[in-house]
Amino acid sequence: MSTQPIRTDVTIVGAGPCGLFAVFELGLLDLKCHLVDILDRPGGQCAELYPEKPIYDIPAISVCTGQELTDKLMAQITPFEPTFHLNQMAESLEKTADGWWRLTTDIGTVLESKVLVIAAGGGSFVPKKPPIKGIEDFEGRSVFYAVRKMDQFRGKHLVIAGGGDSALDWALNLQPLAASVTLVHRRDEFRAAPDSVNKMRALVAEGQMRLEIAQIASLEGADGQLSGVVLKDKERGEWPLACDTLLAFYGLTMKLGPVAEFGLNLHENLIPVDTEKFQSSTEGIFAIGDINWYPGKLKLILSGFHEAALMAQAAVRVAYPERKIRFQYTTSSTDLQQKLGVA
Amino acid sequence: MKIHVTDREGGEHEVEATNGWRVMEIIRDAGLPITAECGGACACATCHVYVDPAWVAKLEERGEEENDMLDLAFEVQENSRLSCQIMFDPSLDGLKVTLAPE
Ligand SMILES: Cc1cc2nc3c(=O)[nH]c(=O)nc-3n(C[C@H](O)[C@H](O)[C@H](O)COP(=O)(O)OP(=O)(O)OC[C@H]3O[C@@H](n4cnc5c(N)ncnc54)[C@H](O)[C@@H]3O)c2cc1C
Ligand code: FES
């Protein structure tokens, strides 16, 4: 169900801090960007793993949180009007007959560009899967790590595992549709928003939802269809709980994912680049931020910013070989200031 | 100073420990398979270990943040710890831990 291809100057895989700052450096050189990220918002690790924790080594900013850094970067790149394709996995890459990179996402967005920038960081964020024996056999049929369509769970006997916002939100949202909902969590304390926890406790008190303080020991069922889970805790040992669907929410982890299939040379799941252009083994494909590797590489945001600036100089020569590029400062160039909307 | 680490296959490793390092860093520096995705910020739970029962009481108790983050780990037990939250000092010479499944 691919849609009409969108043609642009640069496609960026990954909207973490380095992908975001690349929009700025490329924008100063008049290159338009489209970004793809599997997360539902920009910011990469900063937004997903440590939105509220402080960062102290961004030059000239003594301290800011992961979310504040993301917000500041988003504000800084606003003049360049980047287009975000969120909640989408950049899945496959090919070259068109006329020499453009065609990137297709898992929901069928097609982006064509002369330059591809991989700013995929530690990889795409994907759900953590519990190490329960045989769980793979049920995945996609009766075990899920995300909800794409709520209606899929109508009339089901659900077990929802986890104690954070995802687990609580889905328990509350699916409760009216499902035949039954049992929330399974390892302790009687929840990290989720207090309001959701209160709502959940009220439903449990009314007998509309069950709460089990336990962990999942094993799964029962056949041919991909669950018939129940076995719960365990230290005092009570193990006991069965009948259900037909398990939704597990244990947070996200980073996996290199489809980028490994893009035909690039890899070095221990990283993309080796040169330190002049930050180009991969393939012309027109650049890699910046945590995903790249070169001698002396440090996985720091400030390194990724530097890489973005040098990459942009090389990228514009790939996209528009005929253009003459001059070096300018934002302080003194009215041309750059016009692009930034300040002159 | 040393710590003893049992890996997920049951292999035992005696590892050189450095005063002031996080136990996660000691394990990672020895090249053992610990993901430690967030680099020790108590933000990922991929540095989960089981502490030998004889050592549990010698450690400072879990903090609230660590306890919260353990919600994202699997097979959590009473002796579960996030190894990035254990600071090594000479009193922990000989500490025994086992890497948790992932
Ligand atoms: C807890 C913690 C504290 C840190 N503290 C600091 C610090 O103080 N100072 C510092 O400099 N650094 C710090 N870092 C490291 C810093 O966050 C990283 O260096 C930085 O996030 C790397 O940015 P990036 O843009 O390269 O990648 P990331 O932030 O990893 O973003 C990559 C994005 O690409 C997406 N992606 C990947 N593949 C795909 C695909 N195929 N399709 C769709 N989307 C995809 C991912 O979902 C992700 O959103 C810290 C990291 C952590 C975890
Ligand atoms: S390394 Fe992430 S919580 Fe310990």
pLDDT for the residue numbered A121: 96
Beta-bridged to residue A143, according to DSSP, are: A139, A246
A14 falls in which pLDDT band (50, 70, 90)?
A: very high
From A93, A301, A305, A307, the mutation candidate for ligand 1 (largest count of ligand atoms within 8 A of CB) is A301
Inter-CA distances, A193 with A150, A196, B41, B63, Å:
21, 5, 21, 20
pLDDT for the residue numbered A81: 97
CB contact under 8 A, A163 and B71: yes
- In the predicted structure, residue A1 carries a pLDDT above the cut 60: no
Inter-CA distances, B9 with A86, A130, A143, B98, B100, Å:
39, 18, 27, 10, 10
Q: What are phi and psi of A88, to 5 degrees?
A: -135, 140
* Closest residue on chain B to A184 (Cα): B71
CA distance A162 to chain B (A): 7
Q: What pTM was estimated for this model as a whole? A: 0.90
Place of tokens 């709980």: A241
Residue A68: other Cβ atoms inside 10 A: 17
Instruction: Report which of A246, B93, B92, B64 is spatially closest to residue B82, judged by C-alpha positions.
Output: B64
- In the predicted structure, residue B17 carries a pLDDT above the cut 90: yes
Query: Is B15 within 8 Å of B2 (Cβ atoms)?
Result: yes
In whole angstroms, what is the distance from residue A334 CA to residue A330 CA?
8
CB contact under 8 A, A50 and B102: no
Average pLDDT, chain B: 96
CB distance B49 to ligand 2 below 6 Å:
no
Mean pLDDT over A81-87 rounds to 97
Residue B30: other Cβ atoms inside 10 A: 15
Average pLDDT, chain A: 96
- In the predicted structure, residue A318 carries a pLDDT above the cut 90: yes
Mean pLDDT over A37-61 rounds to 96
A148 falls in which pLDDT band (50, 70, 90)?
A: confident
A343 falls in which pLDDT band (50, 70, 90)?
A: confident
The count of domains in chain B is 1
| Chain A environment of B75 (Cβ under 8 Å) | 131, 215
Mean pLDDT over A136-153 rounds to 95
- In the predicted structure, residue A2 carries a pLDDT above the cut 80: no
CB contact under 8 A, A50 and B76: no
Mean pLDDT over B25-42 rounds to 95
**Alpha-carbon dihedral angle through residues A124, A167, B100, B88, given to the nearest 10 degrees:** 90
Mean pLDDT over A62-77 rounds to 98
**In chain A, what are the domains?**
6-125+253-340 (3.50.50.60), 129-250 (3.50.50.60)
Half-sphere exposure of B9 (CA within 13 A, CB side): 4
CA of A8 to the centre of ligand 2 (A): 39
- In the predicted structure, residue B33 carries a pLDDT above the cut 90: yes
In whole angstroms, what is the distance from residue A316 CA to residue A325 CA?
8
CATH number at residue B63: 3.10.20.30
CB contact under 8 A, B71 and A254: no
Query: Is A227 within 8 Å of A142 (Cβ atoms)?
Result: no
What is the percent of chain A where pLDDT is above 90?
97
Residue A200: other Cβ atoms inside 10 A: 23
The beta-carbon neighbor of B76 closest among A186, A189, A251 is A186
Q: Which residues are within 8 A (CB) of A323 and not within 5 positions of it... i.e. 6 or more apart?
A: A316, A317
Task: Name the burial class of residue B69, with classes exposed (0-12), middle (13-18) and buried (19+) by CB atoms within 10 angstroms of its CB.
Answer: buried
CA distance B80 to chain A (A): 12
A→B contacts (Cβ < 8 Å), by residue, are 49-50, 53, 122, 128, 130-131, 162-164, 185-187, 189, 191, 215, 234, 250-251, 253-254
pLDDT for the residue numbered B84: 97
CB contact under 8 A, B43 and A49: yes
Q: In what order do the strands lie in the sheet with A180-185?
A: A143-144, A245-248, A157-161, A180-185, A210-213
Half-sphere exposure of A251 (CA within 13 A, CB side): 24
Q: Domain span at residue B37?
A: 2-99
- In the predicted structure, residue A279 carries a pLDDT above the cut 80: yes
Is ipTM > 0.95 here? no
Mean pLDDT over A62-72 rounds to 97
Mean pLDDT over A97-111 rounds to 96
